[in-house]
């Protein structure tokens, strides 16, 4: 699992280091903000960001992708922290890691093929909305100074890159944080700072075993959260991996990524950090800054911790408004704006899947539920569409009093009723021939439907002959498992 090619590490050293530093700086506000969403000390998020980034640099399946403490995961753990405290969160983080490693060995990464593009888009948009919504408590009702600071912060983030020379080399989120901190300290503003949110790390993380009783009771508490965290983490990581794959036009090992996330989370849990996963916004920042290799992820994690530990006195006075501005930038950058434009162009079913995913996620604050709904809807729509590809033609030979039905297309649970309805049982004929050569019977419902048709004709007194039956019924995938035999697929689909 540790084997990585030299190119993954050393293929792009200078740019990987620079990009990693940019990402490290952008990670600080996020790790703090996500800790606050989860209801724990900023320390927990920062240690998590450090350990997840560093470990996944070595064991992850997607070089150049940034993993750390994330909003999606923070949202899942809120209730656990509220009801049971930090130690249970750490225990849940360990279990999450174990579940993800199991998922990796079960090759569940390949299940991503069931998650359609519309679901991915919905997931990403919902994530952006949730990140934005999570900023509101620090914004609404905090007074005009906070509004002004946030607005100024956004101004700096979006406009600073246009400043000649320095604009291209200094990360604008960092400039935003520095300027707003300076202003707030200089003016002595009475607004929330990072220091108000909890303790900041002043030491490197140390190994510690979560202080929870090791019994069934604990497992009962943490398992549902760990399972949800594992699913959300893997979904976000694998989707982000797909996005980075697209951007860099390279491949990644999805199952290794599952295991890598698991190992990272276990290490995070043992170092006092919360569970995390890949971050879409940060990974885009990394790729945009020129990061491609594992080194960029490593530098991001290590840089983050160095900055925080050695500058912890300074980090404490950063106004929350500055972090809110950075997070709003991340949510805007994460949102897939094309998808809004695409609502007009894409088919209705795609839009429904995308919007349903967004709505369910935003409603439940659980990305896993949204994805589940999205995948189910997509499957239903697909079944419905494929069901249309079935028709029955017939012709009558009056001399012989024989009607021949030719069935063409996909017969399965969704089209079985349509299949039965296509036969005219009222017609009086001596013989019925059902030609199934170009029909495909996919499941038991289809076979049952065929049986029903044959029995009904017999009861009406007709003699029934099935043509091409054997070949057609052989296509019941469950029984013969043709998916791993290419030559079988050729034979099955050859009729089309």
Partner 1 sequence: MSDNKSNNKQVNGHSGRTEPVVLSCIDGSRYTSAVCDYASWIANVTGAPLKLLHNIERNNVPAVADLTGSIGLGSQEELLEELTSLEQQRARLMVQQGKLMLQAARERAEMAGVPSVETCQRHDSLSESVIELEDAIRVLVLGIRGEEHGDSEAGLGTQLETVVRALHKPILVVNRDFEAPRNVMLAFDGSEAARKALAMVRSSPLFREVSCHLVFVGEADKAESLLAGASTQLEEAGIDVTANHLTGKTVDALIDYQREHAIDLTVMGAFSHNRLRDLLMGSLTAKMLLNTRQPLLLLR
User: Which residues 174-203 are close enough to bind partner 1 by CB under 8 A?
Assistant: 174
Listing DSSP states for 71-121 in one string gives: HHHHHHHHHHHHHH-HHHHHHHHHHHHHHHHHHHHTTGGGGGGGS-HHHHH
Contact 49, 67 (CB under 8 A): no
> What is the three-class DSSP state of 258?
helix
Q: Which stretch binds partner 1 (CB under 8 A): 179-187, 312-320, 366-374, 486-494?
A: 486-494
**From CA 164, how far away is CA 364, in angstroms rounded?**
45
The helix (H) or strand (E) run that includes residue 230 is: helix 216-248
Task: Pick out residues in 390-449 that bind partner 1 (CB under 8 A).
Answer: none
Q: By CB under 8 A, is residue 3 in contact with partner 1?
A: no
Minimum distance from residue 389 beta carbon to partner 1 (Å): 22
106 binds partner 1, rule: CB under 8 A: no
CB of residue 281 to partner 1, shortest distance in Å = 6
* Positions in 256-285 near partner 1 (CB under 8 A): 280-281, 284-285
Can you name the residues that pair with 277 across neighbouring β-strands? 68
User: Which of 60, 260, 293, 387 lies at the binding interface for partner 1 (CB under 8 A)?
Assistant: 293
Q: Which of 277, 270, 278, 275 is nearest to 226 (CA)?
A: 275
Which residues contact residue 461 at a Cβ distance below 8 angstroms, ignoring those fewer than 6 apart? Answer: none
Shortest spacing between CB 53 and partner 1, in angstroms: 16
Triad 365, 369, 373: Cα angle to 5°: 130
Question: Which residue number, 192 or 491, has a Cβ lying nearer to partner 1?
Answer: 491
| Cα angle: 332, vertex 334, 338; to 5 degrees | 85
Q: Minimum distance from CB of 173 to partner 1 (Å)?
A: 5
Nearest to 416 by CA among 448, 381, 370: 448
| 28 binding partner 1? (CB under 8 A) | no
Residue 249 sits in the site that holds partner 1 (CB under 8 A): yes
Does residue 459 interact with partner 1 by CB under 8 A? no
Does 18 sit near partner 1 (CB under 8 A)? yes
Which window, 106-114, 169-177, 178-186, 380-388, contacts partner 1 (CB under 8 A)? Answer: 169-177
Nearer of residues 247 and 467 to partner 1, judged by Cβ: 247
Give the integer Cα–Cα distance in Å for 365 and 27: 22
CB-count exposure of residue 58 (10 Å: 0-12, 13-18, 19+): middle
The two three-digit tokens of residue 311, written as one number: 């500058």
Question: Which residue, 132 or 225, is less far from partner 1 as judged by CB?
Answer: 132
336 binds partner 1 (CB under 8 A): yes
3-state secondary structure of 463: strand
Structural tokens at position 72: 């999606």
Nearer to partner 1, 172 or 181 (CB): 172
Q: Does 485 bind partner 1 (CB under 8 A)?
A: no
What would the x/- binding string for partner 1 be over residues 338 to 367, using CB under 8 A?
x-----------------------------
334 part of the interface to partner 1, by CB under 8 A: yes
Of 129-168, which residues contact partner 1 (CB under 8 A)?
157-158, 160-161, 167-168
H or E segment at 466? strand 463-467
Residues within the interface to partner 1 (CB under 8 A): 6-7, 11-12, 15, 18-19, 22-23, 25-26, 157-158, 160-161, 167-174, 243, 246-250, 280-281, 284-285, 287-293, 329-330, 332-334, 336-338, 486-487, 490
């Amino acid at each position: 699992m540790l084997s990585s090619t030299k190119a993954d590490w050393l293929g792009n050293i200078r740019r990987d280091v620079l990009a990693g530093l940019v990402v490290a700086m952008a990670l600080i506000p996020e790790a703090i903000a996500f800790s606050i969403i989860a209801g724990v000390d900023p320390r927990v998020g920062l240690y998590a960001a450090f350990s997840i980034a560093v470990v996944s640099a070595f064991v992850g399946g997607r070089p150049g992708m940034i993993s750390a403490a994330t909003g999606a995961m923070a949202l899942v753990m809120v209730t656990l922290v509220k009801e049971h405290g930090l130690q249970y969160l750490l225990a849940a983080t360990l279990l999450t890691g174990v579940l993800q490693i199991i998922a990796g060995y079960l090759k569940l990464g390949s299940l991503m093929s069931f998650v359609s593009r519309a679901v991915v888009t919905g997931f990403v948009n919902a994530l952006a909305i949730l990140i934005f919504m999570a900023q509101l408590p620090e914004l609404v009702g905090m007074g005009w100074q906070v509004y002004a600071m946030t607005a100024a912060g956004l101004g700096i983030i979006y406009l600073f890159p246009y400043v000649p020379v320095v604009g291209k080399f200094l990360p604008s989120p960092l400039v935003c944080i520095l300027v707003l901190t300076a202003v707030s300290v200089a003016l002595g503003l009475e607004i929330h700072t990072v220091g108000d949110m909890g303790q900041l790390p002043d030491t490197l993380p140390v190994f510690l075993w979560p202080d929870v009783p090791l019994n069934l009771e604990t497992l009962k508490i943490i398992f549902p959260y760990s399972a949800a965290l594992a699913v959300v983490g893997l979904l976000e990581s694998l989707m982000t991996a797909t996005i980075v794959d697209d951007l860099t036009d390279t491949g990644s090992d999805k199952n290794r990524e599952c295991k890598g996330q698991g190992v990272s989370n276990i290490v995070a849990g043992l170092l006092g950090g919360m569970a995390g996963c890949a971050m879409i916004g940060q990974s885009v920042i990394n790729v945009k800054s020129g990061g491609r290799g594992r080194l960029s992820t490593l530098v991001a994690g290590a840089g983050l911790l160095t900055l925080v530990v050695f500058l912890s006195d300074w980090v404490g006075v950063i106004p929350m408004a500055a972090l809110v501005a950075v997070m709003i930038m991340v949510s805007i950058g994460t949102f897939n704006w094309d998808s809004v434009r695409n609502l007009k162009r894409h088919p209705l079913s795609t839009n429904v899947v995308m919007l349903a995913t967004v709505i369910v996620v935003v409603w439940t604050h659980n990305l896993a539920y949204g994805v589940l709904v999205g995948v189910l809807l997509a499957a239903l729509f697909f079944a419905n569409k494929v069901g249309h590809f079935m028709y029955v033609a017939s012709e009558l030979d009056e001399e012989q009093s024989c009607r021949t039905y030719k069935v063409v297309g996909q017969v399965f649970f969704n089209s079985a009723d349509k299949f039965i309805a296509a036969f005219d049982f009222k017609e009086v004929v001596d013989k019925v021939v059902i030609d199934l050569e170009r029909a495909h019977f996919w499941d038991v419902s289809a076979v049952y439907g065929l049986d029903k048709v044959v029995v009904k004709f017999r009861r009406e007194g007709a003699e029934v002959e099935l043509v091409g039956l054997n070949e057609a019924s052989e296509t019941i995938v469950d029984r013969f498992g043709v998916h791993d035999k290419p030559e079988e697929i050729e034979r099955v689909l050859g009729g089309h």
